[in-house]
Amino acid sequence: MRPTPPPQTYRVKSFGCQMNVYDGERMAELLATQGIRPAADGEDADLVVLNTCHIREKAAEKVYSDIGRLRREDGSAPLIAVAGCVAQAEGEEIMARAPAVSMVVGPQAYHRLPEMIEQAALGQRSVDTDMPAQTKFDVLPARRKVGPNAFLTVQEGCDKFCTYCVVPYTRGAEISRSFNDLVEEARSLVEAGAREITLLGQNVNAWRDDSNRGLEKLVEELAAIPGLARIRYTTSHPNDMTEGLIEAHRDIPQLMPFLHLPVQAGNDRVLKAMNRSHTVDSYLRIIDRVRAARPDIALSGDFIVGFPGETDAEFEDTLKLVERVGYAQCFSFKYSPRPGTPAADMEDQVPMAVMDERLQRLQAALSASQLAFNQASVGKRCTVLVERKGKLPGQWLGKSPWLQSVHFTADAAIGDLVEVELVEAGPNSLSGRLVSAISG
Ligand code: SAM
Ligand code: SF4
């Protein structure tokens, strides 16, 4: 590779989960401290970071086509760094297959990007997929400017080894960040403009500190930060749903009435084959306890259809579970074999046409459930955190406490918290009528 002048501009493209969005923001902040500025819209960037996702579909193939598309009309290309979970899983292979890539950096090593960029400018390629003892969080720069909703990664990695999932291999073992570091980062996010913080983790409710304090203690501490109006957390695992966290939904007003609790399937044989370590019944009992603590809670989940060996009757059990829970919104996916995971080698892989049909039926049921939840909200008064302008003059968009998109027309600004009455519901959003502005 030929030496190039050090990059002046960057673009970070994040794919996949919210944790990747958070990592992308932190990489951008890190690059800014190196004097590299974000490329303007339409401007070619000197450095492009592809922050990849490996969870489903042909993620790796997509990375190669994205790399190809970065070549400019005159045949030149930016410095390219591949980050995220594909980088972790396929580091050396990316180097071998894509000579245009200068840097491959895993999700636990991206704080080392500045050194890698220096080497790349000298014409040297590098791969860093270490999971170092000194974590990135100890060296990343402080948060500076954020919008009204900010993400805060509190926990990373996973020890659960669901048989379909690549996360334990790409993100490593479960680690929890320290209580004090998190409180400090939350404070700096609020100073930088955040009014709502979403705590993130692959299993966020598995967060514990050295003194064995659970997530509810962290939420309690963050709720005392002046100016922080709302707290959310995602994604939770049913097995880590403690009584303390359930009670926090009853006791802490800043903790929003929303719980994303993936179940994946509605049949115990399938759950066992997935190594989910919960049953349909134990999941439903958690839901009952959460609803007893916070009756208006909005429930969300993740589903996989077509796990190897899933029969028609077992899939019907998933539809029954959807009906029983009454979800407010959900994510649903076709099973995708991930190389290296146990399920990828299981017999009885379900044909694509069957998965397509099941996904369609599941999504129809989930949409109906979402519409019913939204319609049941009509007539309620609630706060909306304003996130952006709508398409119509004077229109604003924001989120209700139940994470519904709400649009309304009024004199407002991004970051305002307003009170609206919900007057009309569609499947994906509601319209509200302004009752009062709570704060600007
Ligand atoms: N830790 C969370 C949990 O256990 O519920 C989920 C984290 S995972 C990154 C997000 C979602 O991706 C999972 O809940 C699952 O529905 C989906 N997923 C993971 N691996 C998948 C695969 N091989 N095929 C299809 N969907 C998958
Ligand atoms: Fe993947 Fe299961 Fe861990 Fe969730 S709990 S990240 S689905 S292995």
φ, ψ at 416 (rounded to 5°): -70, 150
Q: Would the CB of 161 count as within 6 Å of ligand 2?
A: yes
Q: Would the CB of 167 count as within 6 Å of ligand 2?
A: yes
Q: Would the CB of 56 count as within 6 Å of ligand 2?
A: no
Which region among 50-54, 250-254, 347-351, 403-407 has the lowest average model confidence (pLDDT)?
A: 50-54
Average pLDDT of the residues in 142-148: 83
Tens-place pLDDT, residues 38-79: 999 989 999 999 999 888 767 778 888 999 999 888 888 899
| β-strand partners of 84 | 52
Structure tokens at 189: 């996010």
Give the rounded distance of the alpha carbon of 440 from its chain centre: 28
Which of ligand 1's atoms lies nearest the C-alpha of 331?
16
Average pLDDT of the residues in 85-103: 91
Q: Whose CA is nearest to atom 5 of ligand 2?
A: 160
Q: Would the CB of 168 count as within 6 Å of ligand 2?
A: yes
Strands 429-439 and 405-409: parallel
Q: State yes or no: pLDDT of 161 exceeds 90.
A: yes
Q: Would the CB of 254 count as within 6 Å of ligand 2?
A: no
Report d(CA 351, CA 354) in Å as an integer: 5
Percent of the chain with pLDDT over 90: 82
Residue 341: predicted pLDDT: 95
Residue 161 Cα, ligand 2 centroid: separation in angstroms?
6
Residue 439: predicted pLDDT: 61
Which region among 145-154, 208-217, 296-305 has the lowest average model confidence (pLDDT)?
A: 145-154
Residue 162 Cα, ligand 1 centroid: separation in angstroms?
9
pLDDT band, residue 95 (cuts 50/70/90): very high
User: Which residues have any ligand 1 atom within 6 Å of their CB?
Assistant: 17, 55-56, 164-165, 167, 202-203, 235, 237, 262, 264, 302, 304, 333, 335-336, 338
User: 255: which DSSP letter?
Assistant: B
* Burial class (CB within 10 angstroms; exposed 0-12, middle 13-18, buried 19+) of 296: middle
Which of ligand 1's atoms lies nearest the C-alpha of 166?
20
Place of tokens 């028609």: 312
Residue 56 Cα, ligand 1 centroid: separation in angstroms?
8
pLDDT band, residue 241 (cuts 50/70/90): very high
pLDDT band, residue 133 (cuts 50/70/90): low
Give the rounded distance of the alpha carbon of 133 from its chain centre: 24
Structure tokens at 198: 């979403």
Residue 168 Cα, ligand 2 centroid: separation in angstroms?
7
pLDDT band, residue 335 (cuts 50/70/90): very high
Residue 1: predicted pLDDT: 73
Residue 60: predicted pLDDT: 74
Residue 367 Cα, ligand 2 centroid: separation in angstroms?
25
Structure tokens at 121: 């400018």
Q: State yes or no: pLDDT of 361 exceeds 60.
A: yes
AA identity, residue 326: G
Structure tokens at 15: 């794919």
Report d(CA 55, CA 156) in Å as an integer: 15
Strands 9-14 and 298-305: unpaired
pLDDT band, residue 293 (cuts 50/70/90): very high
Residue 98: predicted pLDDT: 92
Average pLDDT of the residues in 243-267: 98
Residue 240: predicted pLDDT: 96
Residue 407 Cα, ligand 2 centroid: separation in angstroms?
34
Q: Are 321 and 365 in contact (CB under 8 A)?
A: no
Which of ligand 1's atoms lies nearest the C-alpha of 262?
5
pLDDT band, residue 2 (cuts 50/70/90): confident
Q: Would the CB of 160 count as within 6 Å of ligand 2?
A: yes
